[in-house]
Amino acid sequence: MEISIITASYNCQDTIKETLDSVLSQTYKNWRLIVFDDGSKDSSLDIIRRYAQSDGRIQLLRHPGGANKGLPQTLQKALACVKTEYAAFLECDDILDKNYLKEKVDYIRNNPGAEIIYSKVKCFGDKNRVKKLTLFNKAAELYVKMLNPFSNKYNLNFPLLSFNPVPTFSCVMLKTALAEEYGFDSPYPPQADYWLWARLSFKHKFHFIGKDLTLWRLTQNSYTMKSLGNAAGEKRLRDAIKDLYIKNNPASYLFKAGLSKLLSFAFKLISFIFKPVAKIILGIKKQA
C-alpha cells in the first residue's frame, strides 16, 4: 500500500529540512511526498529541490508563476495530484515519528473500514505554548473518550460544534476520496482543517491511535499562531459551523447545541481540575 503525504510549504527555510528528514526516516518505505509551495520567498525552495533531486519519491510543485494562493488552494492543488487511496498531511514545520506510517498502515490493515485516522501528538518549541497545548490536548482526549468510552472509533460531531479536538493537521491520515469530496474551502482559511472535520463528522467516524506519532512544533511566528485572536475570522467560522449543524439536522440542533455547551463546560471543568494536578506531577518530575 502506497501512502501519499501532502505538505503545503511557505517560507519554511528554518524547519523544512527536519520535516523532510522525518519522512525519509520512516520505517515504512512505500510513500510519496508532494510538497506544494505557496509562493515562498526564502531559501526553502532550494532546500526542497535538493531533496527532490536526491529521492524520486519527493515531488516539488508550485502555483503558476510562483504565486501565493493561500492554504486552501494550495492543499486542493496538492490533493489533485494524489493517486493513492490514503493521504496523510504534514505541515512544513512539524516532524513525524519514524513509525508514523507503519502504525497508520497497520491500523488500516486491522481495521479495513477506517476512513479517517488521527493520533496523539507531542508538542515542542515555545515553552509557554507547549505547556498550554499539552494540557489542552490531554483534557480534550479525556473529553472525547468520555463520549466514546468503549471504542477508538470516535463520533466527534458533538465536540466539533464547540472546538476542534484534533490536535494538528499533521496527525491525520484519511481516504483521499473524502478530502476530494469535502475540500478545504473554509470560511476562515487558517482553520481549514477544523471546517473539514466538522463537515465530515456528520457521516464519518474518526479512528484514534493513542500514541505520540507526530511532533507538533509550536512557535510564536507560525501561520496558526498569527491567526489566533482574529475575532472576525473566527466568528465567520463559528457562524458557518452553526449553519452547518442547523442545515444537516435542524430538528436536533437545539439539543446538540445545548448538550455541546454542557459537555464544553465539563471539558473546561476537567481542564481546570487537571491543570493543578499536572503542575504538581510536572513539578515532581522536575525535582526528580
Domain ranges of the chain: 3-287
Tell me the average pLDDT across 95-99: 98
* More confident: 134 or 284: 134
Classify each residue of 252-272 as buried b or exposed e, where b means 16 or more C-beta atoms within 10 Å of its C-beta.
ebeebbeebeebbeebeebbe
pLDDT in tens, 138-161: 989 998 998 899 999 999 998 898
| CATH superfamily label, 3-287 | Spore Coat Polysaccharide Biosynthesis Protein SpsA; Chain A (3.90.550.10)
Average pLDDT over residues 279-286: 49
Give the C-alpha separation, 61 to 59, whole Å. Answer: 7
pTM over 0.95: no
Instruction: Determine the 3-state secondary structure of 284 from DSSP.
Output: helix
CA distance 159 to 271: 15
pLDDT band at 253 (very low <50, low <70, confident <90, very high): low
3-state secondary structure of 56: coil
**β-pair type (206-218, 153-154):** antiparallel
User: Average pLDDT in the 258-286 region?
Assistant: 60
Whether the per-residue pLDDT at 199 is higher than 50: the answer is: yes
Q: Can you tell me the distance from the alpha carbon of 284 to that of 30, in angstroms, rounded to the nearest whole number?
A: 43
